[in-house]
Amino acid sequence: MIPKESCRLIIDYAKSLGFSDVRITPALLPTEYDKTFEEWIDKGFHADMHYLSNRVLNNVTISDLLKNTKSVIILALNYYQQEEMGNLSGGQISRYAVSRDYHKIIKKKLKQVCSYIGHEFSGETRAFVDTGPLLEKAFAETSGIGYIGKNGCLITEEYGSWVFLSVILTSLELPQELLPIKISCGRCTRCLDACPTDAINLNKTIDARKCISYLTIENKSSIRDDLKDKMSNWIFGCDICQEVCPHNTRAVPTRDNEFKTTRFNDRYISLGDILKIKTDEEFLGKFAGTPIMRAKRRGLIRNACVAAGNSGDQNLIPLLENVSNTDDSMLKDHALWALDKLKSKW
């Protein structure tokens, strides 16, 4: 076991790079987390995210990711930006998406922490940010960095749920200093009541098939008509179940310079500007280096069609008509749906 003081050095080093909180947990999770995850997969709540079901199918364990993993380091980075910038019309994007792609920023920091551990303590490491086949939020909860709320988000005492989570697996046996978590959901049901598509299950999991975040980002196919109506102006992600959470009223603005700098003027991008995009090059020109790349050009235009239909903005009709002339059946269908909705309001 590495002495407590040495473990503190690792935590302090990670915090010096901008991580807001860093905790340690043993590599073994209580079985209830795997059980909940497997039930979630069995019920098809993962939608088309087959990389998640493959994790169960292939029985991936933590030692498949790093042999001799003894400890898991959980790192949270607060990305909250307080100011409500610019105008509130247009397509809305999630708070985390206004900056550069967080994967790139956080990976760079994780690499530095891993080098430090290797250099100073000869520990083997492997780092993941959002992409690894492991239950990040479960490890985060056992580390004591926060708890999983009814909205399925990891909620921290100090920063609410506006944090990016990342994980370093290490062969070092690090001591855990477990502090009791003083917050919980209690009887609150605000997120369940506010979710427009009823995507929140009662066991703190989300039915991705109905979740606007999934529908606008990971989903590569058509969106059901009954869900389109409920998506309002969200074109990339959805923050509703976090915005209503009372623990997020304590949120403090990020201190990390890279997340303070935004790529967009505000969280509302002109729907007209998106509907005008004709080529992947134009899409790249606008969104390269941002999380929005994940939706790809087709996905973002599909989402903009839905938001346009819900907007009631008749000025978007000519642009939607242009989109409806495409050979791409998914985009055509979504543009026609929006036109139908806008014209029915005349």
Which one of 228, 247, 297, 302 is in contact with ligand SF4 (CB under 6 A)?
Answer: 247
Task: Give 171 or 248: the residue with its C-beta nearer to ligand SF4.
Answer: 248
Q: Does 26 bind ligand SF4 (CB under 6 A)?
A: no
CA separation for the pair 187, 193 (Å, rounded): 12
> How many H helices and E strands in the chain?
16, 9
Which one of 49, 56, 227, 244 is in contact with ligand SF4 (CB under 6 A)?
Answer: 244
Smallest separation (angstroms) from ligand SF4 to the CB of 244:
5
Q: Does 292 bind ligand SF4 (CB under 6 A)?
A: no
Identify whether 12 is a catalytic site residue. Answer: no
Task: Give 123 or 149: the residue with its C-beta nearer to ligand SF4.
Answer: 149
* CA-CA-CA-CA dihedral for 45, 47, 52, 58, to nearest 10: 90
Q: Does 251 bind ligand SF4 (CB under 6 A)?
A: no
Q: Does 41 bind ligand SF4 (CB under 6 A)?
A: no
Contacts (Cβ under 8 Å, ≥6 apart) of 115? none
Q: Does 199 bind ligand SF4 (CB under 6 A)?
A: yes
Which one of 81, 125, 197, 205 is in contact with ligand SF4 (CB under 6 A)?
Answer: 197
Burial letters 124-148, b for 16+ CB under 10 A, else e: bbbbbbeebbbbbbbbbbbbbbbbb
Which one of 97, 168, 238, 308 is in contact with ligand SF4 (CB under 6 A)?
Answer: 238
Residue of 12, 130, 225, 340 marked catalytic: 130
Q: Give DSSP secondary structure letters for 230-263.
A: T-TTEEE---HHHHT-GGGGG------HHHHS-S
Task: Of 139, 148, 128, 129, give the one whose Cα is nearest residue 191.
Answer: 148
Contacts (Cβ under 8 Å, ≥6 apart) of 11? 22, 23, 24
How many Å from the N-terminal Cα to the C-terminal Cα in the chain?
71
Q: Does 245 bind ligand SF4 (CB under 6 A)?
A: yes
Task: Give 6 or 222: the residue with its C-beta nearer to ligand SF4.
Answer: 222
Which among 77-85, 210-218, 220-228, 318-326 is the span making contact with ligand SF4, rule CB under 6 A?
Answer: 210-218
Task: Give 135 or 238: the residue with its C-beta nearer to ligand SF4.
Answer: 238
Instruction: Count residues binding ligand SF4 (CB under 6 A).
Output: 23
Q: Does 81 bind ligand SF4 (CB under 6 A)?
A: no
| Cβ atoms of residues 267 and 334 within 8 Å | no
Q: Does 91 bind ligand SF4 (CB under 6 A)?
A: no
Tokens of 83: 């100011």
Task: Give 126 or 204: the residue with its C-beta nearer to ligand SF4.
Answer: 204
Task: Give 77 or 208: the residue with its C-beta nearer to ligand SF4.
Answer: 208
3-state secondary structure at position 83: coil
Smallest separation (angstroms) from ligand SF4 to the CB of 276:
27
Contacts (Cβ under 8 Å, ≥6 apart) of 123? 117, 170, 171, 172
What residues make contact with ligand SF4 under the rule CB under 6 A?
149-151, 185, 188-191, 195, 197, 199-200, 206, 211-213, 238, 240-241, 244-247
Catalytically annotated residues: 130
